Amino acid sequence: MSLARVHNFSISLDGFGTGADQGPDAHFGHAGDRLHQWMFATQWWEAGGTAGVDDVFVQRHDPGIGAEIMGAGKWGHPGWHEDPDWKGAWGPNPPFHTPVFVLTHHTRPSIDMEGGTTFHFLDTSPAEALETARKAAGDQDVRIGGGPTVIRDFLAARLIDHLHVVVVPILLGRGVRLWDGLEGVEKDYKIEQTSSPSGVTHLTFTRA
């Protein structure tokens, strides 16, 4: 069965998946790159990086994934819909290499990028988006790519099968929270916490 999986989703100790004051040069707002430094220290990111627990977790991002669903805020910075020719914040060869379904109220025609990524734009519910993405993914799994609001909506709709969250030891104070309004959702899952020598903790939810 095709699973809906979240990988490498980083949050602060106080639960923010992105900071405040997002903009073209600050995709994670005032968080900067602090939520993702653990990732840049691995050999997955750069030769000579670490090969331990952070690396084995981060490498689960791609294998077995046939499509991604992401929010409009991951695809582009606020206001992107005012430029009908813009192709998103991920450059000419985005790191997805599959169909990517962007959830937005500002739909536009699909865009073929280099390297096998095609952006499709959907204005639908999480459940309908997942059904569409599963068809595109064939036998493979669908990655729910974030941001925090999208992951929260999919969790609330009980659509996530595997959730990997990375808790980074910083206090952002402001931004968009991952966990709001999810009381009791953990009851559907087996949860494990794995602390890393890098200072982060990996949290995994799998269907109980």
Binding site for its own copies (CB under 8 A): 13-15, 167, 169-174, 179-186, 191-196, 199-201, 203
On whether the CB atoms of residues 162 and 204 are closer than 8 A, the answer is yes
Beta pairing class for 65-71 and 141-144: parallel
Which CB atom, from 13 or from 51, has the smaller least distance to its own copies? Answer: 13
Question: Is residue 201 classed as helix, strand or coil in its secondary structure?
Answer: strand
Which CB atom, from 113 or from 155, has the smaller least distance to its own copies? Answer: 155
On whether the CB atoms of residues 26 and 32 are closer than 8 A, the answer is yes
Which CB atom, from 110 or from 193, has the smaller least distance to its own copies? Answer: 193
Angstrom distance (rounded) from CA 152 to CA 71: 11
Angstrom distance (rounded) from CA 6 to CA 14: 20
Closest CA to 74 of 55, 41, 96, 53: 96
- Closest approach, Cβ 179 to its own copies, in A, equals 4
Which CB atom, from 22 or from 117, has the smaller least distance to its own copies? Answer: 22
- Closest approach, Cβ 180 to its own copies, in A, equals 7
Which CB atom, from 56 or from 191, has the smaller least distance to its own copies? Answer: 191
Question: Is residue 10 classed as helix, strand or coil in its secondary structure?
Answer: strand
- Closest approach, Cβ 14 to its own copies, in A, equals 4
Residue 14 sits at φ, ψ, to 5 deg, of -90, 15
- Closest approach, Cβ 162 to its own copies, in A, equals 15
Facing residues of 189 across strands? 207
- Closest approach, Cβ 129 to its own copies, in A, equals 23
